[in-house]
Structure 1
Amino acid sequence: MRTVCFLTGLYIVVASIDCKTPGLQARITNKGLNYATEVALDILTKQVTGLQIPDQHGATGDVSYDLTGLRINGFGKPSSRVSLIQNVGLAWSTSGTILNVHGNFHYKYHGIIPISDSGSFDLHTRNINFAINIELGSDTSGRPTIKSRGCSCSVGIADITFHGGTAWIYNLFSGLVADKLKGIVGGSNGIFCQQLNKLVNVNGMESLKNLPVTVDIANVFLLDYRFLSKPSFQPTFMETYHKGEVYWKANPHEAPLPVPPLLKSSDTSKMMYIWASDFLFNSMSYTAYKYQQLQYNVTNKDLPGGVLNTTCSTLVCIGKFIPEIGKKFPNTTVMLYMKAMTMPNMTVLNGSTMVYASGDIMFFAQQPGGKYTYFLTLSATMSTTISIRIQNEKIYAKVLKLPIKVKVKDSKIGQLSPEVLDLVIKGVIAIFVEPKLNELGSKGFPLPIIDSVHFVDSQLTTAKDTLLIATDLKYTG
């Protein structure tokens, strides 16, 4: 099951689109696929070693025999190769497998003088080659599918050694027993193909049925990475294309935003590539704005030293910075209601990432009884530069520059100094807003990848409308 989870999990996170532009696209190269099959062989070795084989019975001439307690006690890892079948999926083949089987035998010679005896035996098989085709697709709901499309297995050499019993009798049926055991191991219905078909068709599909196609973000958003079409297979890589949109968890609806084309790349030097459109992040921004997540009440508890007091003995309070407030509302505190007035928009350019936002900052003075009196509104615009990095299968962001421009939109306390307002708001931004944004960015944006698969030696490139992650992989299951 883990074998298939690894292979299909890579396929899930990594297609030609018929009509829709993806918000998330991924590619797994031959290098990645061959690494996956090496991991799969390690897991298959553990699964096959110790496997019990059903008892076998037969006869040749005057000799009948029973083979019981059959168990695989040795598996030599073969060389492996995976290739891509256009419009279908993967072809995985191996050569040079070694398999050892131990068991017990009992025979009866029905000649003039009946003879029967028993003992144990060891079968040594070499040059076992097997191949399986795997069809990868998606169903009508955008969920991935996997299906075996034919398996073959051949056994080159089989030597059998008996322990106990009468030696001259062995020559009467040793060849037959060896051929029978070769048939059990090889062929389209043999042990290997049974195990591989089961892994793909039973365990694989069962795993995919339970695999979510959305990622929960902060318990209020859903990242949707359903397939938009069947995967695409090229000679050196396979690609999948995903919805790549963030919805409101309680009421998922598509954002009315354009999806820009992603950066083109022919690179296959890494195991995996993931393209994330700035549409993916902007759909989250749109959803957060629509559902009023981009608003916050800033009070003294958010700022140090009573900055929002209207009266103070020092110069470090809003009543001293803006005397009109101190005169109008003495001996109280101010609350700032910060609200986005438009959807913040992220634009990815070559080498930089910018976020543009605008909003209102409304000022309220606290009155006795817990009521607030409105007295001022400032309009603010920001053009923020952020840095983005990839770590532990997440995208992290940090604010580098947060310039803000403010102007008076409405005032109930007369004319105010633009320079002083600018100074006050920049202080609030530096003390509260910027740390708050960096706190969100430090939580990371999760990429859709299965457990036990980790990024190694990752590189992140920013290009027009695109974040491109190039990485190798390590399986730790």
Structure 2
Amino acid sequence: MMSSWNALILIFGVVFLINETHSKNPGLKSRITSTGLNYAVNVALDVLSKDITSKKIPDQHGKSGSVSYDVKGMRITKFTKPTSVVSMVPNTGLLWKSSGIGMSLHGDFHYKYKKGIIRISDHGSFDLNAGGIQFQITLTIGMDTSGKPTIRSSSCSCAVQSTSIKFHGGRAWIYNLFRGKVAKTLKNSIEGGSGLLCKQLTNLVNVAGAKKMAQLPVEVKLAKKFLLNYSFLSRPSFQQNFMETYHKGEVDWIGGPMSTPIVAPPLPKGTGTSRMLYIWLSDFLFNTMSYSAFTHDLLKHNVSDKNIPGGVLNTTCKVKCIGRLIPQIGQKFPNSKVLLNLRSTSTPNMTSVNGSVRVDAAGDIKFYAQTPTGKTEYFLTLSASMSTTISITVKNEKVYAKVLKLPIKVKVKDSKIGPLKDAMLNFIISSVVTVFVEPKLNELGENGFPLPIIPSVHFVNTNLTIHQNSLLIETDVKYTG
């Protein structure tokens, strides 16, 4: 059953849930609905139905009184896929019910009876059939100290409608005289909360399931320098038709987390339950990434004529260049090239509101002249402010961004070449923005922002809407493992 459990955990592990009072607002919130959970169970059962007849059951060895026995070569020869449903248990977890399970099993046996001088041994094979098997198991979902999900079985019950067994080989004609009693004994051993099936299911959850949960990552690397932390803020809880989770949703520096002064705004509660999965992404998530980039001095860049072709940054020309548009530059630094140093002076801030996303940023632009002799001389600093409108899309489990409008305003902060007209400076900077800055921003947006979705789970019928301080992704999922 391991492959089916893998499939189930992979689907359940899309995102697990929480709904409690938190000391701070989450940066990422998710909701898995009953539709999503039942899809997960059916995926797991499909995998189980395909794989189970090729699986071998471990050999059994034991002793009862004077009889020692070996049961080997057991394999499932037939399996009937059950009807299954998962429902929420408020404040506890999930209740998984299955009924209509049918199974046939073939194996070989060997036994020895030894008492005093009496020695009896025999071997043969058997076919076991069980039908109308049903079980229900309660799964309690929690979290460990590192913010990862945990899972355990808190209760289990099982019933078997019928069992039959037939022996072959050796003294099979004798054993078959008692096969009704053997079948009843087997039925009794399978049924109940302490029966074989519940023991196996409980072990599957508490051991294999717990191991899978522990392997679910709570950090995703971004751009080789950042870590997206989506660990849980508190233990999960459950509503009637959905589970909901609140995650840290903060982007840290790979070298080590740092305390951010940015406060996450409240996320909308949301009422949707028709899709399998809902994910709310707070502006906080993107703004903590901006904060990490700014505090680690990443938001800077040098621009030269290599970045902006056409001689725009030349100080001497016949038609159009910076030295002709601003004569003071051409007069003081003839036959030179202008170098620009762009640097943010504050953390860029993203704001989602009224169906649109805006990024506000501010920085300094320093101008240097590189003379024919190779000397570099500073001569101007402009303060710049920018309010950018961007479009957001979701594809292949990533969030993509594209600049729609990139207006920028500049004014002189420091000048070594006398007074300058802001209008002409804005024209020059707009050219730089159009040719260089905007393509660079779109290049970053085209890389995509990975969502905390595990491999083999893909979005289908996805819709994205922009709310106050957040993006909402509504989607169904498809498992392709």
Structure 1 length-normalised TM? 0.91
Tell me which of 215, 220, 225 is aligned to 1:215. Answer: 220
* Distance in 2 of aligned mates of 1:154 and 1:264: 41
Deviation string, structure 1 residues 345-371 (Cα, Å, up to 9, x no partner): 111012111111111111011146754
Quote the residue 1:84 is aligned against: 88
The 3 A distance-change label for structure 1 pair 116 and 206 is closer
Please name the residue that 1:453 is paired with: 457
Contact (CA 8 Å) 2:367, 2:380: kept in 1 or not? yes
Residues 393 and 454, structure 1, Cα contact 8 Å, conserved in 2: yes
Q: 1:388 offset after TM fit, Å?
A: 0.3
1:403 alignment partner, one of 407, 411, 424: 407
Checking the alignment, whether the CA contact within 8 Å between 2:346 and 2:361 is kept in structure 1 is yes
**Stretch moving more, 242-251 or 86-95:** 242-251
Is 1:230 the equivalent of 2:235? Answer: yes
Matched, 1:248 2:274: no
Q: Which residue of 1 aligns with 2:368?
A: 364
The whole-number CA distance in structure 1 between the counterparts of 2:188 and 2:447 is 56
Q: Report matched runs for 1:272-283 at 5 Å.
A: 272-283=277-288
Distance 1:145 1:107, change over 3 A: closer
More divergent stretch after superposition (189-198 vs 261-270):
189-198
Residue 117 of structure 1 deviates from its aligned partner by 7.2
Rounded to whole Å, the distance in 2 between the matches of 1:444 and 1:65 is 61
CA separation of 1:320 and 1:170: change in aligned 2, threshold 3 A = same
Alignment match, 2:472 = 468
Contact 1:310 1:320 in 2 (8 A): yes
Q: How does 1:209-358 map to 2 (within 5 A)?
A: 209-312=214-317, 314-358=318-362
**RMSD value over aligned CA atoms?**
2.8
Please report how far the alpha carbon of residue 163 of structure 1 lies from its aligned counterpart in structure 2 after TM superposition: 4.4
Tell me which of 421, 438, 442 is aligned to 1:438: 442
CA contact (8 A) 1:92 1:132 kept: yes
Instruction: String of CA shifts for 1:353-404, please: whole Å, max 9, x gaps.
Output: 1111111111011146754211111121111110001111111100001111
Distance 1:225 1:37 in 2: 25
Q: Which piece of structure 1 moves more, 388-397 or 363-372? A: 363-372
Query: Is 1:68–1:104's contact at 8 Å kept on the other side of the alignment?
Result: yes
How far apart in 1 are the matches of 2:145 and 2:265?
A: 24
Residue in structure 2 matched with residue 178 of structure 1 by the alignment: 183
Q: In 2 relative to 1, CA 322–199 (structure 1 residues): closer, same or farther, beyond 3 Å?
A: farther
8 Å contact from structure 1 (residues 273, 471) kept in 2: yes
Residues 1:205 and 2:210 aligned together = yes
Counterpart of 1:136 in structure 2 is: 141
Shift of 1:270: 0.4
| 1:360/1:109 CA distance change after superposition, 3 Å | closer
Aligned residue pairs total 471
TM-score (norm 2): 0.90
Alignment gaps of 5+ in structure 2: none
Report the CA distance shift for 1:64/1:178 in structure 2 as closer, same or farther (over 3 A).
Answer: farther
SS in 1 for 2:477: strand
CA contact 2:18–2:234 (8 Å) conserved in 1: no
Show the counterpart of 2:34.
Answer: 30
How many Å apart are 1:93 and its aligned residue? 1.1
| Alignment partners' CA distance in 1, 2:153 and 2:413 | 66
Change (3 A) 1:175 1:253: same
Which letter does structure 2 place at the counterpart of 1:344?
P
Which residue matches 2:128? Answer: 123
Residues 95, 15 of structure 1: alpha-carbon distance in 2 compared, 3 angstrom cutoff = same
Output the amino acid matched with 2:379.
F
Change (3 A) 1:56 1:289: closer
